[in-house]
Structure 1
Amino acid sequence: MSRLIIGAMVRTVGAYPSGWRVPGAHRDPRGDAAVLRRTAEVAEAAGLDYLFFGDWLATGEDLAYRDPYLVARIDPISAVTYLAGITSRIGLIATANTSYADPYTLARATASIDVLSGGRAGLNLVTGAEPRAAGNFGVDAHAANEVRYDRAVEFEHVLRRLWDSFEDGAIVADPATGLYLDPARLHATDFHGQHLSVTGPLNVVRPVQGHLPIVHAGTSPRSRLFAAQSADIALVAVSGLEQAAALREELRALAFESGRDDRTLKVIAPVMPIVGPTLEAAQQIADRLSELVPIAEDWPDGAPASLPETRSLAHLSHLVGVDLTDLTPDREVTDHLAAQFTSFGEELVEIVAERTGRYPGAERSSTLRHLVVAASVNASMVVGTAPDIAAEFAAWAEAEAVDGFNVLSATQPAQFEAFAEEVVPELRRLGVIGDAPEHDVTLRERLGLARPYNVHVSPSDLGLRLASAGDALGRAAVERSPRHP
């Protein structure tokens, strides 16, 4: 059985849309510093591999309903810098948007964090999915997907050349001879592409890890190509074990076709465990989270315009093939009503049953609200006791469906601490993860990745390879994509 990488995706007000409404949950971003500190302490004590910080470059009232954790959040570079000083072992991964970031500034900040943390920094590169971000950076419009990825390819290439500005022995600092710098071991970047132009060199020594591990997440064929060619970790959202295994095989095949060792690409899936002392208790937690999600029919005089259109009985009616608009959200789903649903509606009924223990005709019957929430809240949830969840992780490891999981916590701090303190020991007992390192290790070492050669001196430096949907590799990605919508 493969051993899994386990990281935590940090969302301080909870990853579930209603997580902040649960009693005892953190809900005010002005108190994020304490939550970040506590999260890091618990994660490091449990031996998790890293903490992961996503990003979003705009805000608006719609996010308060859709994803409250996006409304106001700490800048990820600032978050990992803060935590680098109060942790000693856990990896710290920050997100940057290549569409708007400056590569020199980002290379300097991330190299500095890696040096200061002893080699524990990682970088998630994204191209952005929020059109409102353009105006925040003085741009008229968010660039098209292909253009954004052309820039991302250049960006990743420039980052590595900047990180490698100093060879490892460039700083001589010999007091006897007075030689401080070996100029032959300091390299200019000298990159001039279609989207970026950077001269370099970077004024920070080479990171402890050589290159920070690069993460990328995306669903388009071009994003998969970028991950396969350039990333150390590919984050993939999947609906189940079989899809995960197929997508991992696809990404690794694409990595191999790109000329790299496909074993160096780690495929990680996000998952939201709901942990309870019993299965019934865990289902009740999931049930309560569903009940606290507002949907359109909760406003008799009309829902706010910013409420997602998917949070309504009208949208559910379309999905299940039955007109439900004259009913109330808390109307029970009877056997007779469920029998009229489409196959997708039947799947929703099963999802609700697995998560909450509610199903048609039972003493605790599912309601239309439960179906609306199941259809509109995109979360890969595993509900149960700590042994239940560990066994599910073990099944994925046995099938080699993924190389690890990014764990989302529905509520903070309760669900995060339940996972770290109850599930992680079970994973260790099953051999799904190894023992926490007894000595300090770099994030690359935790991920099973070697320290890369310096691109300025290594014969393996193949230079920049711009790949697009018109290339053979790009066509292969496009052709594979229909299997994983």
Structure 2
Amino acid sequence: MSEPLIIGAMVRTLGAYPSGWRHPGAHADPLGDAAVLRRIARLGEDAGLDYLFFGDWLATGPDLEFRDPYLLARIDPLSAVLYLAGVTERIGLIATVNSTYADPYATARATASLDVLTGGRAGVNLVTGAEPRAAANHGRDAHADNAARYDRAEEFVRALRLLWESWDEDAWRADAASGVLIDSDGLRGAAFDGAHVRVDGPLNVARPPQSHLPLVHAGTSARSRALAAAEADLALIAAADPASAAATRAELRALAAASGREPGDVKVVVPVLPVVAETDAAARAIVDHLLLLVPIDDGSGHAGREGFPANRSLASFLDIAGVAADHVVRRASVDDPVSAAVAGTFDEPAARTLELVRRQTGRDLGGPHPVTWRLLIAAHAVPAAFVVGGPTAIADHFEAWRDAGAADGFNVLSAFQPAQFEAFTRLAAPELKRRGLLGSSGETLRDRLGLAAPRLARAAAPVG
């Protein structure tokens, strides 16, 4: 039997699909995040997931209400994982840090503290940021360009590793008989002086149980891929299909080998958005309802609000469909059914959206449950690669990508919380375990991820 996949949960308390918070019973108030986080943590740990992953975004604005509501107001990721450290015992906790704005010493101190407090369950997702508003929030006139951000990120990683190595493994003696608490030769400074990062050290936190916390990185640029291949333990990628994911995974493994690592040192993890229910039909009904809840320009007043996207109208969809001269269609209600005759004239993007809606909702052209214009507008404006179905369908998806060499693991997103995460852990997780796809073991996060011992950064001379 093959090794289990790496399976973690990417936590978004307001849900990963923009209309998820509107679903009946869904969590919709950030002030109640504490209870939802505790619930997610217990469910994930009991299901045997490897980690909980917390992303970040260093700005907010009204446009996010329609595009990514979960970014509007959210708990700082380091605060979230420190909060959950006390209510979990086995599951890994990964927090995002933006190296463009973070201080390396403070980051090393907080993350080493988390690793000590959790007995080696901490991880760091390193990002360089792409939000212009974040610059002003950190007292800067403009966001740094890609090259400068990655130059700093590379130095930031070096500084983290040196600081995490401040204490040798046997430096803490605590010999009461002799009165020797530490071996001072085992306390080392970082002594790092780069073009973007400077830090002396040593770190005033004990050596982390994992020595180096697992590093995670995501990105599509050449510099991002190079950083992931050279430094990351987990590389997060997004891919439309197994073939493209397998190609990216092969590229990252080749880059890792070129940087002096073993190809398997970097594990490739892809996001997955399962919509899970007892049956395939019940899961399709959930997707159908999520699409119906997407705010569109339907005369209800949404279109007049600040930040409302321009592509959520019937006219916008008909433009991409190539339906230019049919004035009758352009006067249709968004809740009218789409006729087979008109659908047969769709250009490729609209035809692809139609096929997606049919597959994900179970609706069709004609019949008692027809595809409507509203559903097509929503699916095109707010695309999502839902994996829809009961436990077998979800497990089949995981297994197919694994067998295609497309991924070493998955980051599970939930369209809304907590019910969809509960459904995944209650229904899909047992089937994944039965197939040997879920169930990594190990005391530390490094162990669970199947990572080799870290390459030490060789800290500077002892402090004396």
Q: Is the 8 A contact 2:77 2:95 kept in 1?
A: yes
Alignment of 1:430-469 (within 5 A): 430-434=435-439, 437=441, 441-456=443-458
**1:44 to 1:295, Cα distance in 2 relative to 1, 3 A:** same
| C-alpha contact 1:397 1:432 (8 A) present in aligned 2 | no
Q: How does 1:358-377 map to 2 (within 5 A)?
A: 358-377=363-382
CA distance in structure 1 between the partners assigned to 2:228 and 2:320 by the alignment: 33
Number of residue pairs aligned between Structure 1 and Structure 2 = 455
Judging changes above 3 Å, is the alpha-carbon distance between structure 1 residues 46 and 285 closer, same or farther for their aligned structure 2 residues? same
Change (3 A) 1:325 1:93: farther
Query: Residues of 2 paired with 1:205 and 1:369: CA distance?
Result: 57
Alignment partners' CA distance in 1, 2:221 and 2:298: 34
Q: Which amino acid aligns with 2:260?
A: G
Aligned partner of residue 296 in structure 1, secondary structure: coil
**1:130-279 to 2 correspondences below 5 Å:** 130-279=131-280
CA distance in 2, matches of 1:116, 1:302: 48
Matches within 5 A, 1:411-426: 411-426=416-431
SS in structure 1 opposite 2:349? helix
Secondary structure of the equivalent of 1:274? Answer: strand
Tell me the C-alpha RMSD between the 2 structures. 1.7
CA-to-aligned-CA distance 1:82-139 (integer Å, 9 cap, x gap): 1111110000000011111111001000000000100000010111121111111111
- Secondary structure of the 2:110 match is helix
Matches of 1:230 and 1:266, distance apart in 2: 11
Structure 2: which 5+ runs fail to align?
none
Contact 2:277 2:427 in 1 (8 A): no
Please say if residues 49 and 438 of structure 2, whose CA atoms lie closer than 8 Å, have aligned partners that are also in contact. no
Deviates more, 1:388-397 or 1:49-58: 388-397
Q: What does the per-residue CA deviation read over 1:360-414, in whole Å, with 9 as the maximum and x for residues that have no partner?
A: 2343222222222222324321001111111111111222210111000111111
Q: Distance in 1 between matches of 2:153 and 2:320?
A: 36
Check the 8 A contact 1:12/1:69 in 2, yes or no. yes
The aligned amino acid for 1:172 is R
Any residues of structure 2 matched to 1:302-313 within 5 Å, and which?
A: 302-313=303-314
Which residue is 1:339 aligned to?
344
Deviations 1:53-106 (A, max 9, x none): 111111111111111111111111011001111110000000011111111001
Amino acid at match of 1:351: L
Shift of 1:425: 0.3
Distance in 1 (alpha carbons) for counterparts of 2:109 and 2:312: 43
Where do 5+ consecutive residues of structure 1 fail to align? 459-485
Contact kept in structure 2, 1:111 and 1:206, CA below 8 Å: yes
SS at match of 2:63: helix
- Cα distance, 1:12 vs. partner? 0.9
> Shift of residue 331 of structure 1?
3.0
Residues 202, 345 of structure 1: alpha-carbon distance in 2 compared, 3 angstrom cutoff: same
- Per-residue CA deviations over 1:316-375 (Å, capped at 9, x if unaligned) read 234322247544322322211121112222211111112111232343222222222222
- TM-score, structure 2 normalization: 0.94
Match of 1:388 among 365, 387, 393: 393
CA distance in 2 between counterparts of 1:247 and 1:195 reads 30
Secondary structure of the residue aligned to 1:267 is strand
Amino acid at match of 1:85: G
Q: Distance in 1 between matches of 2:225 and 2:376?
A: 31
Inter-partner Cα distance in structure 1 for 2:321 and 2:259: 42
Distance 1:131 1:253 in 2: 33
SS of the equivalent of 1:14 reads coil
Kept after mapping to 2: 8 A contact 1:127/1:152: yes
Higher mean C-alpha displacement, 12-21 vs 182-191: 182-191
Q: Deviations over 1:434-457 (max 9, x none)?
A: 3x64xx610000000123243226
SS in 2 for 1:173: strand
* Letter of the 1:365 counterpart: P
State the distance in 2 between where 1:230 and 1:454 align: 12
CA contact (8 A) 1:14 1:410 kept: yes
Residue 47 of structure 1, CA deviation: 0.5
Asked if structure 2 preserves the Cα contact closer than 8 Å seen for 1:123 and 1:213, the reply is yes
**1:298 Cα deviation (Å)?**
4.0
